[in-house]
Every structure is written in structure tokens, then in C-alpha cells.
Amino acid sequence: MDWKHHAIWWHVYPLGFCGAPIHEADPHPGPRLRALMGWLDYAVGLGCSGLLLGPVFASATHGYDTLDHYRIDPRLGSDADFDDLVGACRERGLRILLDGVFSHVGSGHPLLRRALAEGPGSGAAAMFDIDWGAPGGPAPRVFEGHASLARLDHASSAAAEYTADVMRHWLDRGADGWRLDAAYSISTDFWARVLPGVRAAHPDAFFLAEVIHGDYAGFTAAAGVDTVTQYELWKAVWSSIKDRNLFELDWALQRHNAFLSSFTPNTFIGNHDVTRIASAVGPDGAVTALAVLMTVGGIPSIYSGDEQGFTGVKEERAGGDDAVRPAFPASPDGLAPWGWGVYRAHQDLIGLRRRNPWLTTATTSAVALENQRYTYRVRAADSSACLDVSIDLTSTPRATIRDGGGTVLWEQAGH
């Protein structure tokens, strides 16, 4: 199996991580992206093999309202800063995945402004989904009700060619692949038109589609992506621990087995869009959740800060993501001392996974199941190896991992 299926990603939201202003103008643009270079050895020490970066391209605010897909956001630096980050990652064997926002652009995007100014016959107009007969004048159709996010016209060849060109541009500069933001909101036909040409130029590139609900396997096959975000399992992991209902986790793992028969999902217990796992289930519950993440099939990603037990609650309001997208200190030396026990648990569990690479495509079956106690057996696709994972929620959440002979390989300590 190639590197893509054995990757373990450290997921970083650069604008927040590097301390860039999100909601107001930046009085002092600068090479903040370079701050990540001081964290690369930390990511390697954690056991990760790549950086899954949030948006790094010029945007108006939070990065998902892109203004120029070909330019590094001035709040983060320049092409040279990106090139140096790529070089530093290469020296350490780290891959880089970029966040591609091709569902929509910021309402101030220069091409959109040109389209609105020049009318439906202009070249720029072919890129965008614009209601030319809207009351009050032409109006871009928007993403999920957000007036600041204007949709591309995904039926057009112009939007497909633009997307493919942006992808190739940054793959040429050293990226290893793309996270496709809001891929679920775009017809699979669009991705099926875009990706083959990109893969022809970069056959080793990795494509991860953000898909929340629906037919994961069908989307993966029709779109031609490598994998999708496994939100079903994410939800089941934290809510089964929080609600002391491990039947939910068992059901989700049965579903997960079915997905694994056709593709290898991207698994996670945290990302830049959701409440921190330690806030959802507490620090001990977060380590239990990690034990599940690291012992089931999939391509896992760790959201930066979760490995230190960071807390933060996502709220449905303006600025409601800020708590889960904080600035980090200049180096790991600035982290609080209380988080390192959680970090060591991550090292141990990631290490266990790396020593057992068959876990990437392994499936699970229930050995014993109650509301608050659950043991599942995780077995290699060729049945050559297995582990037993026991979860006990009767008091403080605990997990224990045993080999096929019953020897304890890892047991959760309190934090």
C-alpha cells in the first residue's frame, strides 16, 4: 500500500495557530507561516507523518473566503515562506496537504467583481453561479446562506479548469495533495472532471473530500477522490462516551467495516470545525476516544492541540470557531506542563499503530457489549493479526489494548 493509506496527519489551522488577526485588518502582515517550522520536530515526535494545513491562501477573514488561490495570505507570508516550510517538511519526511476551497470564493474576489461589472457575456462570468435576473440586480448564489461566500458554477468548464490549474500550481510547488473543502456541496461530476487531469500530472497526489452525511462509498467512487471525512464515526466516538452508550459505537463500527471494503476513510476525533474532544468528554474520555481512533481502520488525523488536551467549545455565532482555533506559543516549550501526559498517551498509541500497519485496513467485531463496557476485536484484512480493545465507562473512562494472546500492550492511565 502506498504512503497515502499509512499517513497520520497533524491537522493545523494556520491563521489561528500562527496568531493572525481573523476579524479585523492586519496592521502588520508578515511571515507568520514560518512559525510552523518550529513545530515540525514536535509533530514528528508525536508520530505524525504529514501536516494537514487549513487555508493558507489570500482571503478576507477566516481563510474560507478566498480572494486569490495563487497567493499565500499576506497575514501568513509569501511564496518564499511556503517554499521554506515545504523544504523543512521534506527534510523531516513530512507530507503537506493543502485546504482547497473550490465550492465558493469570497464575495470580494476580483474575478467575481469583474463578472458582475462586465455582465453575463464576460469570460469571468463563466466561473460563477450568478442570478442575473435577481431583484435589485445581478446577485451571486451563495454557500449555505453566507452572503460573503459566492458559489462557483460547477457545471462550467471554466470553474473546472480553474480548479485544476490551482491544484497543479501548488502540487508543482511541493504540496502532496488536497483537502477538498465542502466537497459534499458539489456534484461528484465536477470532481470527476477535475481530478483525472491533475492526477495525470501528479499521480502520487492525495485527495481528501470533506463529506459530512450521505453515501461515503458512493461519493468516493463517483468523485474519484481517495477518501472522505468519516463524520459518522467521529460523532459515535464522542457521543457514546458522553452518553455512556457503547451500542452507538458498535453500530458505527459495523458501518465503518462496510466503508473499509471499498475505501479507507479519514478518521478523526477533532478538527477545526467542532468542539474539542476534551471539552466534549473530558480529558480521560479524550484519551479513550484516541484509543479507538488508533485501533480502527482508517487514515487518522490529529487536530493540533488535542494531543495536549486543549479545550474549546464551538458556538453557532459570529466568531464561534475562535475557541477551537487558538494561537499557539512560539515553540512547544511554551505549552503548559499539564498537557504533556496527554501528549505521551498520543505518542504511545500512535506508536502502537505504526508498529501494526495492518490496522489501516483492519475491521472490527464485538466480543462483548454492554451500555458502559465494550470489547471489540480488530483484525487484519488477511486475518494474520488481531488486537482486543476494551472500553470501560462505569467510572472514569478507561481503555485497554491486548494482543491476540491476551497480553496487555497499552492501558490507559489517569490524567
Considering the entire predicted model, what is its pTM? 0.97
Tell me what pLDDT residue 337 has: 97
Read off the pLDDT of residues 128-162 as tens digits, 9 standing for 90 and up: 999 999 999 999 999 999 999 999 999 999 999 99
Tell me what pLDDT residue 397 has: 98
pLDDT band at 404 (very low <50, low <70, confident <90, very high): very high
Query: Mapping DSSP to helix (H, G, I), strand (E, B) and coil, where does residue 320 land?
Result: coil
pLDDT band at 2 (very low <50, low <70, confident <90, very high): confident
Element (H, E) at 266: strand 266-268
Across-strand partners of 150? Answer: 105, 142
pLDDT at 122 over 80: yes
pLDDT band at 414 (very low <50, low <70, confident <90, very high): low
Tell me what pLDDT residue 415 has: 47
One-letter identity of residue 26: D
Which grid cell is 4? 497515502
Closest listed residue to residue 327, CA positions, set 74, 39, 85 = 39
Domains of the chain: 3-360 (3.20.20.80)
Element (H, E) at 98: strand 95-100
Q: How many CB atoms lie within 10 A of CB 327?
A: 13
